[in-house]
Amino acid sequence: MEIAIISGKGGTGKSSISAAFATLSEKVVLADCDVDATNLYILFNPDVEGEEIYIGSQKAVIDYSKCINCGLCIEYCKFDAIYYSDQKINISSIHCDGCKLCSRICPNKAITMIDNDKSRMYYGSFRNGKMVYGKLAPGEENSGKLVNIVRDKAKKLAKENNINTIIIDGPPGIGCPVISTITGVDYVIIVTEPTLSGLKDLQRTLELTTKFNLNTVVIINKFDLNIKITEKIENFCEKLDIKIIGKLAFDPQVVAAMINCKSIIEWQPASDLSSQIKHIYNNLIYGQ
Amino acid sequence: MKLAIASGKGGTGKTLVATNLFYALQQLNYQVVLVDCDAEAPNDMVFFKGEKIKYFYVHQEIPVINEKKCKFCSKCHEYCNYNAIFILPDLKVIKVIEDLCHGCGACDVACDFNAISTKPVPIGSITKYAIENNTFIIEASMNTGVFSPVPIINAAIKEAKNEKIVILDSPPGTSCPFINTVAEADFVVLVTEPTPFGLSDLKQSIDTLKIIDKPYGVVINRSGIGDTEIYNYLKQENIKLLLEIPFDKMIAFYYSNGELISQLEYQWADKFVSMFNFIIDQYGNSNN
Ligand code: SF4
Ligand code: SF4
Ligand code: SF4
Ligand code: SF4
């Protein structure tokens, strides 16, 4: 069973809940698909057993000994990445999308493409099973391809090690990486907070999961910070027939656990919050 | 002066800082524009009332293949660096996979038989709101499932290009959307929280800003929770701590209701203005 935990925006406690779930199971594969801000390896300090280079895109570079300053490449680049200054042609690596068109049309073959090869996928063991995570290098396109690679590896590790449950910590937003994270999973859990912006993000995220026809449930985290908005979220979900599988109270111990590199389950196994999360998790895994 | 407000992950208080700074400057009759560049989850307008004065779609040009003219030579498929053209020459099947297309125009250039034209497909929208005191909010909003918010973000920033003081509420992460936003700024305010996750994300953001050589300072939100590691790091690296916002259930409550602390507690407006003045003093250039 694959469970993806996402939220319209970061900071709702999504990663802390993923970490709690991961430490509730005897054996899991934990996949950190928030490749633009990987965090869970900090808590779990996995023994890395392998890494793979991920090449998601390319960038154009100019060989000035060949460039004849004809300016043709500027005209062709749809991303406004090429410009003329200091009496020469420049390519902004920030704006270059790697489409290779300039390199193809340059009459003097002055432009070559180089791979962006700084991003990585890592995998290894941690105390509750196996872990896979991706690290996107700064400025690379977060297209969801790295997410797919992380998920494929997680599935492979699950099979090889006879593990039934894969927990996926997803990225924020509603774009391509999120779609890659949730496509084909058994459950999507959206973690939200009782704020007006949280409600708005939840609406956008639900729009997406409905579009893909996914089994979606909601957890309201820190629900006691604003009871009125919590009620609003409850009403909203009821109307859409979306199940709220838990309301978790604000607990400063969540941060204390993080500082000690533990999940809340490991840090305070007997606390109210921990038993509530345990309950949610068991219902999800065994309750159907 | 263009100021980007950013954070490695979402939910650290980036929107809190951007909206309160905007409000505080607006109250002093500064002509300020806030651009909400978090196109996957734009939320700044939750905190303001304003009149919609401009609205337009951002389009991407997607190729359309005329199957009557197509000779199934596969050249467009070879030119496409994103694998967005699917072709089975023997079966005379050719298709553009719109979700993968970046609109680079390479296929159009490739085709020797004039079989490719383009059609505009909306990928998002820009809305401009008039707020009090002759100030504006420009909101970038991406449609669900679009591969990249970058063209929408760029269009939103362009809308504000003639303004004197611009605040850019940047998207989370350190990939393309983040870099594209902060590349336009004169100074970057990084908002983080004093937790291991916060510190890890902050370091990643700073590494990215170093690569593109942008000046920056740090705001610590929810100080009091977590530990002191982040303060040690700032001291060690000689990074300016611009402002601390304590963890306070009241501040969280105001925020959740879409209210501004600068409006409710005046000393907060002063703090944001002092931060702004400090940045202008140190990093503003004379022609702005
Ligand atoms: S097309 Fe080639 S030769 Fe012409 S300006 Fe560009 S890089 Fe130089
Ligand atoms: S590779 Fe494409 S995006 Fe990059 S500079 Fe060349 S034409 Fe522009
Ligand atoms: S416009 Fe570019 S990305 Fe789109 S199909 Fe053509 S070559 Fe591929
Ligand atoms: S390049 Fe033109 S003719 Fe050749 S397969 Fe593509 S669309 Fe058809």
Instruction: Please give the pLDDT value at position B142.
Output: 93
Cβ separation B106–A99 shorter than 8 A: yes
| Integer angstrom CA distances of residue A160 from A75, A155, A287 | 52, 9, 26
Cβ separation A138–B179 shorter than 8 A: yes
Instruction: Please give the pLDDT value at position B287.
Output: 41
Residue A259 touches chain B, beta carbons under 8 Å: yes
Least CA distance to B228: which residue of chain A? A259
Q: Tell which one of B64, B69, B73, B94 to mutate to probe ligand 4, the residue whose CB is within 8 A of the most ligand atoms.
A: B73
- Cα gap B44→A197, rounded to integer Å: 8
ipTM associated with this complex: 0.82
Do B201 and B92 have their domain in common? no
CB atoms within 10 A of CB A120: 17
- Tell me which residue range forms the domain holding A17: 2-55+118-286
Which 8-state DSSP code applies to residue A50? E
- Cα gap A133→A125, rounded to integer Å: 11
Given A88, A115, A142, the domain boundary residue is A115
Q: Tell which one of B76, B102, B108 to mutate to probe ligand 3, the residue whose CB is within 8 A of the most ligand atoms.
A: B102
Q: What is the mean pLDDT of chain A?
A: 91
| Integer angstrom CA distances of residue B48 from A230, B239, B263 | 21, 32, 11
Of the listed ligands, the closest to the CA of A106 is 1
Instruction: Please give the pLDDT value at position B8.
Output: 75
Instruction: Please give the pLDDT value at position B172.
Output: 84
| CB-ligand 1 contact for A91 (6 Å cutoff) | no
Cβ separation B11–A12 shorter than 8 A: yes
Of the listed ligands, the closest to the CA of B70 is 4
Do B34 and B103 have their domain in common? no
Do B155 and B255 have their domain in common? yes
**A94 pLDDT more than 80:** yes
Least CA distance to A222: which residue of chain B? B252
Do A82 and A211 have their domain in common? no
Going by pLDDT thresholds of 50, 70 and 90, the confidence category of residue A140 is: confident
Do A158 and A247 have their domain in common? yes
Do A10 and A37 have their domain in common? yes
- Cα gap B168→B42, rounded to integer Å: 12
Instruction: Please give the pLDDT value at position B285.
Output: 62
Do A22 and A111 have their domain in common? no
Do A7 and A75 have their domain in common? no
Q: Tell which one of B62, B64, B72 to mutate to probe ligand 4, the residue whose CB is within 8 A of the most ligand atoms.
A: B72
For chain B, first and last CA: distance in Å? 6
- Tell me which residue range forms the domain holding B116: 60-122
Given B86, B103, B122, the domain boundary residue is B122
Per-residue pLDDT of chain B (288 residues; tens, 9 = 90+): 999 999 877 677 899 999 999 999 999 999 999 999 999 889 899 999 999 999 999 999 999 999 999 999 999 999 999 999 999 999 999 999 988 899 999 999 999 999 999 999 999 999 999 998 889 999 999 998 787 889 999 999 999 988 889 999 999 888 888 999 999 999 999 999 998 888 988 998 998 899 889 999 999 999 988 888 999 999 999 999 999 999 988 898 998 999 999 999 889 999 999 999 999 998 876 444
Q: How many domains does chain B have?
A: 2
The domain that contains A105 carries what CATH number? 3.30.70.20
Proportion of chain A above pLDDT 90, given as a percent: 70
Do B129 and B140 have their domain in common? yes
Given A115, A139, A154, the domain boundary residue is A115
Yes or no: say if A105 and A84 are a contact pair by the CB < 8 Å rule: no
Indicate whether B100 belongs to any domain: yes
Q: How many helices (H) and strands (E) does chain A have?
A: 11, 13
Q: Which residues of B touch A225 (CB under 8 A)?
A: 249, 252-253, 256
Q: Tokens 């590691």 sit at which residue?
A: B229
Instruction: Please give the pLDDT value at position A288.
Output: 52
Task: Tell me the average pLDDT across A47-65.
Answer: 93
- Chain B nearest-CA distance from A173, in A, is 5
Q: Which residues of B touch A115 (CB under 8 A)?
A: none
Q: Which residues of A touch B61 (CB under 8 A)?
A: 78
Residue nearest to atom 8 of ligand 2 (CA): A77
Indicate whether B288 belongs to any domain: no
Q: How many domains does chain A have?
A: 2
- Cα gap A36→A142, rounded to integer Å: 7
